Chain A
Amino acid sequence: DAGVIQSPRHEVTEMGQEVTLRCKPISGHDYLFWYRQTMMRGLELLIYFNNNVPIDDSGMPEDRFSAKMPNASFSTLKIQPSEPRDSAVYFCASNWQGTTEAFFGQGTRLTVV
């Protein structure tokens, strides 16, 4: 398996623009997690899904952030409108029922100018 695949690897956008980050979990994994990593706050959980259903979105910072999982092999994290303070590395991770070990993608480095 290729592991968790995220795209794009880098994104630079202007303040106010919509940004969409993409994730393909490992095949057969039924849990998907979105994390955000910043220098100030470390690695924070934003939201996670089980069988494509959002289970806990309490970490989503505000209404500008939304996440979807239309099928078992794809998820998006959207920020609209984006702000400079959203600049961070966004990680997607997945796992399956038999483990709590999280398998991480390479991350998307987002810069909002």
Chain B
Amino acid sequence: GEDVEQSLFLSVREGDSSVINCTYTDSSSTYLYWYKQEPGAGLQLLTYIFSNMDMKQDQRLTVLLNKKDKHLSLRIADTQTGDSAIYFCAENGTGRRALTFGSGTRLQVQP
């Protein structure tokens, strides 16, 4: 079945770059997503990448996709305390309507 794996926790200092990693098993995924969840809130879409791309940049966010290794990463440049949240990667395989989510990576930004 489909599986999405993430490390559970990452701690960085304010101003540093953060890199959150994700691996997935379904090679038919057409889109891969990064969602952010702040405390007590729902999930909000941060960015996404189409499976035929290997990189996407959006302001401080850079998404890298290695389709051969089924590895997705999210880099946040100049990490701020407001970036502290849980970050989920998600994918949809061909023919599947619902997204499959990883377990989430809790990012803690130290001042």
Which residue numbers of A lie inside 8 Å of B, CB to CB? Answer: 4, 31, 33, 35, 42-43, 45, 48, 50, 55-56, 91, 93, 100-107
- Among A43, A56, A102, A105, chain B packs the most CB atoms within 10 A around the CB of A43
- Secondary structure of the A side of the interface? strand
CB of B79 closer than 8 Å to a CB of A: no
CB of B24 closer than 8 Å to a CB of A: no
Given contacts A31-B97, A48-B98, A50-B97, contact A42 B104 (CB under 8 A): yes
* Nearest neighbor of A55 in chain B, beta-carbon distance: B97
Given contacts A31-B97, A43-B101, contact A106 B48 (CB under 8 A): no
Contact B102 A42, beta carbon cutoff 8 Å: yes
Residue-by-residue, is B59-97 near A (CB-CB < 8 Å gives 1, otherwise 0)? 000000000000000000000000000001010100001
Tally of contacts, chain A with chain B, CB under 8 A: 49
Contact A42 B101, beta carbon cutoff 8 Å: yes
* Nearest neighbor of A104 in chain B, beta-carbon distance: B42
Which residue numbers of B lie inside 8 Å of A, CB to CB? Answer: 30-31, 33, 35, 41-45, 48, 88, 90, 92, 97-104
| A–B pairs, 6, beta carbons within 8 Å | A33-B98, A100-B92, A101-B33, A101-B45, A102-B98, A103-B45
Q: Which of A4, A42, A45, A105 contacts B98 (CB under 8 A)?
A: A45
Contact B99 A102, beta carbon cutoff 8 Å: yes
Interchain nearest-CB distance for B51 vs A (Å): 12
Given contacts A33-B98, A45-B98, A100-B31, contact A105 B103 (CB under 8 A): no
CB-defined contacts of B97 to chain A, threshold 8 Å? 31, 48, 50, 55-56, 100
Contact A101 B48, beta carbon cutoff 8 Å: yes
CB-defined contacts of B33 to chain A, threshold 8 Å? 101
8 residue pairs, one from A and one from B, having the closest CB atoms: A104-B42, A42-B103, A43-B101, A104-B43, A100-B92, A106-B42, A45-B98, A48-B98
Contact B41 A106, beta carbon cutoff 8 Å: yes
Contact B88 A43, beta carbon cutoff 8 Å: yes
CB-defined contacts of B31 to chain A, threshold 8 Å? 100-101
CB-defined contacts of A35 to chain B, threshold 8 Å? 101
Cα separation A82 to B69 with both chains bound (whole Å): 42
